Amino acid sequence: MRRVLLVICAAALFLCPPSANASPADESLDRLIALVVERLDTGDVVAAAKWTAATARGIEPTIDDPSREAEVYDAMARLGRERGLPADWVRQVFAGQIEANKTVQRGLMTRWRFDPAAVPRAPADLVSVRPIIDRVNDEIVEQLAAQRNMLTGPDCMERLAHSVFDVVTAGRTDALHQIALVRATASLCSA
């Protein structure tokens, strides 16, 4: 099912540009999508930190961090419950965010393997980026609560596609981040 949603969302990006009848700004999911983009942007720093730490020790970088991921799922599910959101849905949303972030990390590390000159020269630090991720995670939960009616509505995927299309056509992301954005947004609509 998730694969079908990804395909639909990706197709909607290119086949369903915003229409003249698009929702007014106060009824869009633009703020939520902006937070998802902000969270995805942290993937660059996380990838660089993991790459630097691993290569300094002469080992292969590890992208998956199951214990940290479990902490995020648990914390966001608790916060979501406090906002009246189903824990399973919140976990689904954050599984999408985490997997999308890992897509960015994998893409960048693959590039660096083949193009060592592209490796960031400034040392990156996970400690500096975690507060940003934590803040954005909290804000995403707040948006899930605020936009719950739209995210559970029958036109959720269309609304998401319009907001994602706006990001893509604005040229604020590269192809890797666009793919990750589609992955991250596919989990936002609740059944």
- Establish if 133 belongs to a structural domain: yes
- Which ranges in the chain belong to alpha helices (H)? 2-15, 30-56, 66-82, 87-114, 126-146, 148-151, 156-169, 175-185
Q: pLDDT tens across 126-137, in order?
A: 899 999 999 999
CATH number of the domain to which 155 belongs: 1.20.59.10
* Radius of gyration over every alpha carbon of the chain, rounded to an integer in angstroms: 17
Q: Is residue 86 part of a domain?
A: yes
Residue 168 lies in a domain: yes
Q: Looking at per-residue confidence, does 68 or 3 come out higher?
A: 68
Number of domains observed in the structure of the chain: 1
Average pLDDT for the chain? 87
